[in-house]
Structure 1
Amino acid sequence: MKPAWLIVLLKELKETLRDRRALALLAVFMLMYPLMVGAILNREIGRATRPEREGIDLVVVGAAQAPTLMAQLGQRNINVQRRDAMNEDAIVALLREQKVTAVLRLHEHYAEDYQAMRPARAELWYDSASENSRKHEEVEAVLRDYSRSIAGARLLAHGVSPANLNPVLVQKYDTGTSASRSASTIGTMLGIFFVPAFMFCMSTAVDSTAGERERRSLEVLLAQPARPGDLIVGKWLAAALLSIVGITLELAIAHGILKWLPLEEIGMSWRLSALDLAAVCLASATLSMFAAAIEIALSINAKSFKEAQSLVSIAMLVPIVPVIVVPMMNLSTTHWMYLVPVLSNQTLLRELAKGQSIGLTPFLLTFFSSLVLAMLCLVFTERRMRSERYLMTV
C-alpha cells in the first residue's frame, strides 16, 4: 500500500500537469532570465566590437589646419567628416542626433599657435550619455599620442632626449584572469537565476492550500484517515519537485548561453564545468524546498487564493534584498553569505565561475541552511493544521 504522503504527492502533480496555464508560466520563467542576461551581455559585446567593425565617425571643424592630425586619425580607423565653422548650439544639436561619436573643433588660430610652438587649442565635444560614449576614448587616445609625438620631436630638435617627458616609466601587470573578471561583472546578475525558485512552486503551493480551502476540498482531505503531516509533506514535495526541475533546467539553459557567447571580446570567459553546474544544482535543491515550504506555510493560513498570492508575493521580496544590496557593497566573500538563502546560491555560483577550488564547506552551508529553514516551516505548518482553531475555520 502506498504511503499517504505519496498519494497526495501524485495527486498534486497530476493536477498541476493538467493546468496548461501553470505550465506555460513555468516555461516563461525558465527562459526569461537566461535570455535576459544573454541579451544584456550580447549587447555589451556588440558595443565593444562595433568600433572595430564600423569605425568611428568624427566631425572636425577646421581640419585644413592640421593635415598631419587628420592622417593619423584616418590610420586609427576614424572616419573624419570635415565641416565649416559650427557654433555651440549646432554642435550640441548634432551630438543629440547620435549619428557621430564626437566633434573636434580646432581654434581659428590653431595653425599659427602650432607654428609658433605655442599650445594649439582644440575642443573635443561628445555626449557621455549616448551609445557612442565609449568611442570618444579612442579619439582622445589618438590626440594624446599625436601631442606626445609633437612634444618629442620638438625636444629632439633642441637636443633634448624625448625620454625626459617620462622620468618614471610604470609597467602594469594585471594578474586577474578572464574568469575572475567575468565572475565579478556577471556576479550581480547571477542572483536572478535563483529567484524563480519561488515562482516555479508558487502556483502549486497556493492552489493546493488556499485554493483547496476556498473550494472547500481541504475539508474533505482533513476528514480522511491521514495525518496532517502526510498531507503537508505530499503538497510540499509536489511544489518543491516542480521548482527543482525548473531551476535545474534554467541553470542549464543559462550555462549554455554563457558558454556560447563570445565573452572573450569583452575580456571575460565562462569556465564553469558541467560537474560544477551539477554540484550547484544539487546544492540549490534545498532552496526550492525552502521556497515551497514557506509558501505553503503562508498560504495555509489564507482564506482565499488571492490573499495567499498577495502574502507569497510580498514574502518573495525578502530574499531578493540581500542579492541586490550585498554585491553593491563590494564585500569580500565570507562564510555568513552561504547561510542566507538565494544569496548563498549566488555566492556559490560566482565563486565557482572564477575557476578556483572553494572546497566542500560552501556547498554544505548552502545546502543545509535552506534545508533547516524548510524544516522549520514544515513544523510550523503541521502544528498549525493540528490546532483546533484552524480546523474550525476550514
Structure 2
Amino acid sequence: MKSSKIVTNIVPLWMVVMTKELTEALRDRRTLIMLGMLTLLYPALVGLLLNKMIERGTRTGKAGIELVVIGGAQAPNLLAQLREKSVNVSERGPMNDAEIKALLREKKVVGVLRLGAEFADYYAEVRPAPLELWFDSSAEKQDQRLELESILRGYANGIAGARLEAHGVSAAVLSPLRLERYDTAGGSSTRISTLLGMFFVPVFLFGLSMAIDSTAGERERRSLEVLMAQPMRARDLVIGKWLAASLLAAIGLTVELVVAHGVLSTLPLEEIGLSWRLGLPMLAVVVATALPLCLFVGAVQVAMAMNSKTFKEAQTTASIVVVLPMLPMLAVPMFEMSTQSWMYAVPVLSNQTMLQSLASNQAPGALAYLLTCIVPLLLAWAAVAFASRRMKSEQYVMGI
C-alpha cells in the first residue's frame, strides 16, 4: 500500500490516463491515417493549388497569347502592335461563324479577331471600323483575353490621339483625369496569411477520433466502468482524456505548419503577387499562440462526446464543432470587416487575425496575445468542469 501511494504521488493519475489514451490512439490505424492525411496531404494540396495558380499567372509571359486573325491584311499596323506585345498572331482566310465556334471549342487559342470586309474603307473615312473578337469564356484563358482587350484598347487610343493631333487638338483632352493607385493594405501578405489561417481548421480533426472513442466508445464497450472503479477522481480521468486529445491536436498542428512552411518556401509565390516571409521563429510564435486553441478543442470534443448517449450521436455532435469555427473565418472576408479587438476573443478567428497582423509586419499588441491565449483556456476549463460533472453521474456511466 505504501509503495502504491508513493507512485501515485510521484506520477499524477491524470498523467497515467493521458499516457494510456495516447498509447491506444497511436496504435489505432485510423488515428494514424487521419494524422498523416491532414499533416501531409493538406499542405501538399495547397501547394499544388498555388503551383497551378503560378503556372496560369505566368503562362502569358512564357508562351505568349495565341490569337487567330481573319482579314489582318487590312490592318498591318495592328498586327505589328500585337506581335510587339508577345501575341502570337496566326492569320487565316475567311471563316464563318460555325467554323470560328468549332475552332474555339478546341481551347487552343485565346480568341479569334475578325476584321470586317469594310474595315479598311471605314478606317480611311475616319469612321468606327468594325472589329470582332470571338472567345470562349469557359476556357481557362481569361487573364490572356483581358490582356488582349487591353492591347486593343491601347491601340485604339493611340489612333484617336494621332487623329486629334492631326487636327491641332492635344490628345490630353481624352484623359481629363490621371488616376494613380497606391495599395497600402499589404495584399500579398494578407492573402497568404488567410491561406495559412485555413490550416487551423484541421485542429478540430486531429484528436476527434480519440476524444469520441475514449468517452462514448468506452462507455458502449463497458470499459469506462472499469476505469471508474479505480481509486481516482472523475476529474483526473477527464483531465487525462482531455490532455491526450489536446496533445494529439498540438502535435498534428505543429507538423502540419512545418510541412506547409517547407512547401510554400519552395514555391515562386512572387510570380502571382504573393510572398512567404514567415521564418521559423515567427512560425514558432504562431504555434505557441495556437496551443490554447488545441486545449480548447480537446475539451469541447470530450465534453460533447460525454454528453452524447451513443457513439454515433457523439460523432454527429462533434462534427458540428468542425463546422462552427469556419463561419467567422468566412464571414470576416465576406463582409470586408477590418481588424478589431473583439476578433481576438473568437477561437480560430483570433489565430487567423493574429497571423494576418504578423504577416503584414504589424504588431498585434499585448491585448491581442492575451485574448488569443486566455479566452480558449477559460472555455476549455469550463468544458472540462462540465465533463467532470457528467463523469460523476451514474446515469452517464451506465448509459441510462
TM-score of the superposed pair, with normalisation by structure 2: 0.92
Q: Check if 1:48 corresponds to 2:57.
A: yes
Provide the rounded CA distance (Å) in 1 between the counterparts of 2:20 and 2:311. 19
Indicate the residue corresponding to 2:32 in structure 1. Answer: 23
Indicate the residue corresponding to 2:125 in structure 1. Answer: 116
Indicate the residue corresponding to 1:144 in structure 2. Answer: 153
Indicate the residue corresponding to 1:6 in structure 2. Answer: 15
Distance 1:166 1:302, change over 3 A: closer
Indicate the residue corresponding to 2:248 in structure 1. Answer: 242
Provide the rounded CA distance (Å) in 2 between the counterparts of 1:71 and 1:118. 22
Once the two structures are superposed, the pairs formed by residues 311-326 of structure 1 within 5 Å of their partners are 311-326=317-332
Query: In structure 1, the residue corresponding to 2:45 is in which secondary structure?
Result: helix
- Counterpart of 1:220 (choices 214, 217, 226) is 226
Indicate the residue corresponding to 2:90 in structure 1. Answer: 81
Q: Check if 1:172 corresponds to 2:151.
A: no
- Counterpart of 1:367 (choices 360, 373, 381) is 373
Provide the rounded CA distance (Å) in 2 between the counterparts of 1:362 and 1:88. 61
The letter of the residue matching 1:160 is: V
Provide the rounded CA distance (Å) in 2 between the counterparts of 1:137 and 1:249. 41
Q: Is the 8 A contact 2:190 2:359 kept in 1?
A: no
Indicate the residue corresponding to 2:163 in structure 1. Answer: 154
Shift of 1:374: 0.8
Indicate the residue corresponding to 1:379 in structure 2. Answer: 385
Provide the rounded CA distance (Å) in 2 between the counterparts of 1:107 and 1:198. 61
- Counterpart of 1:327 (choices 306, 313, 333) is 333
Provide the rounded CA distance (Å) in 2 between the counterparts of 1:181 and 1:30. 27
Shift of 1:325: 2.1
Indicate the residue corresponding to 1:163 in structure 2. Answer: 172
Provide the rounded CA distance (Å) in 1 between the counterparts of 2:34 and 2:63. 41
Shift of 1:157: 3.0
4+ runs of 1 displaced by more than 6 Å? none
Q: Is the 8 A contact 1:33 1:192 kept in 2?
A: no
Shift of 1:246: 0.6
Q: Is the 8 A contact 1:214 1:303 kept in 2?
A: no
Distance 1:217 1:239, change over 3 A: same
Distance 1:229 1:36, change over 3 A: same
Shift of 1:351: 1.8
Which range moved further: 98-107 or 181-190?
181-190
Q: Is the 8 A contact 2:204 2:321 kept in 1?
A: no
- Give the count of matched residue pairs: 391
Shift of 1:187: 4.7
Query: In structure 2, the residue corresponding to 1:134 is in which secondary structure?
Result: helix
- Counterpart of 1:90 (choices 94, 99, 104) is 99
Q: Check if 1:389 corresponds to 2:400.
A: no
Shift of 1:392: 4.1
Provide the rounded CA distance (Å) in 1 between the counterparts of 2:15 and 2:103. 69
The letter of the residue matching 1:343 is: L
Q: Check if 1:354 corresponds to 2:360.
A: yes
Provide the rounded CA distance (Å) in 2 between the counterparts of 1:70 and 1:8. 77
Distance 1:360 1:127, change over 3 A: farther
Query: In structure 2, the residue corresponding to 1:80 is in which secondary structure?
Result: strand
Cα deviation, 1:243-300, whole Å, max 9, x if unaligned, reads: 0011111112222222222111122212223222111111111111111111111112
Indicate the residue corresponding to 1:289 in structure 2. Answer: 295
Provide the rounded CA distance (Å) in 1 between the counterparts of 2:160 and 2:332. 48
The letter of the residue matching 2:24 is: E
Q: Is the 8 A contact 1:127 1:133 kept in 2?
A: no
Q: Is the 8 A contact 1:338 1:366 kept in 2?
A: yes
Cα deviation, 1:95-114, whole Å, max 9, x if unaligned, reads: 23211101111111001111
Provide the rounded CA distance (Å) in 2 between the counterparts of 1:294 and 1:315. 8
Q: Is the 8 A contact 1:156 1:162 kept in 2?
A: yes
- Counterpart of 2:216 (choices 206, 210, 214) is 210
Q: Is the 8 A contact 2:192 2:276 kept in 1?
A: no
Provide the rounded CA distance (Å) in 2 between the counterparts of 1:392 and 1:161. 91
The letter of the residue matching 1:359 is: G
The letter of the residue matching 1:166 is: S
Query: In structure 2, the residue corresponding to 1:390 is in which secondary structure?
Result: helix
Shift of 1:371: 1.1
Provide the rounded CA distance (Å) in 2 between the counterparts of 1:211 and 1:319. 25
Q: Is the 8 A contact 1:206 1:305 kept in 2?
A: yes
Distance 1:103 1:147, change over 3 A: same
Provide the rounded CA distance (Å) in 2 between the counterparts of 1:124 and 1:94. 13
Query: In structure 1, the residue corresponding to 2:146 is in which secondary structure?
Result: helix
TM-score of the superposed pair, with normalisation by structure 1: 0.94
Q: Is the 8 A contact 1:198 1:291 kept in 2?
A: yes
Query: In structure 1, the residue corresponding to 2:90 is in which secondary structure?
Result: strand
Provide the rounded CA distance (Å) in 2 between the counterparts of 1:258 and 1:360. 29
Provide the rounded CA distance (Å) in 2 between the counterparts of 1:263 and 1:279. 23
Provide the rounded CA distance (Å) in 2 between the counterparts of 1:260 and 1:252. 13
